[in-house]
């Protein structure tokens, strides 16, 4: 390379990062969320099929926002918990600035994921039905009235 010339892929990545940061910051970091923005809901493997169907029934929307389900993998091998997988799933949700909730079936692994997720201010919901949990969450997103969507959803879900 001569002088300050940078490969074009470096410039494209830098430009993309510059454009994406303001969009992503709105969901998790306290800024308002733009109408039509997409939020992510992390859902445990056993609840995921029902949660996806319920989201589809709502047209993939919650209020003025679009919602996306991120299905998590199995965290049990036989009758043993895979604590590394549980922790990795929880950290994945916390590192996603568009995540607003984490839905999981009741079980002994919940205490491991819950502490990680709630520390990041993400709503943690335990339910036997993926459809019921998703419906409740979509209502919470639609009812959220705050400059921080994560905080508002967390507060709405913890009131009931």
- Name residue, tokens 């919602």: 67
- Averaged pLDDT, 15-31: 40
Return all residues near 54 (Cβ < 8 A) that are at least 6 apart.
130, 131, 134, 135, 138
Confidence of residue 145 (pLDDT cuts 50, 70, 90): low
Domains of the chain: 32-159 (3.40.50.2300)
CA 103 to chain centre: 9
pLDDT band of 88, cuts 50, 70, 90: very high
Vertex 151: Cα angle to 145 and 156 (nearest 5)? 65
Q: Which of 133, 89, 86, 80 is nearest to 110 (CA)?
A: 86
147 or 142: which leads in pLDDT: 142
Question: Rounded to 5 degrees, what are φ and ψ at 36?
Answer: 90, -5
Q: For position 54, what pLDDT does the model report?
A: 96
Least confident of 7-21, 27-41, 125-139: 7-21
């Amino acid at each position: 390379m001569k002088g300050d010339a940078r490969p074009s892929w470096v410039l494209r990545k830098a430009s993309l990062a510059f454009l994406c940061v303001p969009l992503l910051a709105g969901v998790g970091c306290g800024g308002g969320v733009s109408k039509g923005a997409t939020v992510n809901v992390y859902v445990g493997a056993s609840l995921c099929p029902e949660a996806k169907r319920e989201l589809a029934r709502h047209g993939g929307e919650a209020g003025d926002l679009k919602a996306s389900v991120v299905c998590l993998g199995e965290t049990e091998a036989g009758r043993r918990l895979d604590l590394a997988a549980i922790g990795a799933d929880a950290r994945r949700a916390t590192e996603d600035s568009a995540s607003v909730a984490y839905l999981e079936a009741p079980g002994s692994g919940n205490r491991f994921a819950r502490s990680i997720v709630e520390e990041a201010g993400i709503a943690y919901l335990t339910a036997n039905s993926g459809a019921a949990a998703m419906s409740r969450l979509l209502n919470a997103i639609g009812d959220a009235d705050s400059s921080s969507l994560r905080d508002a959803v967390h507060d709405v879900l913890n009131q009931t």
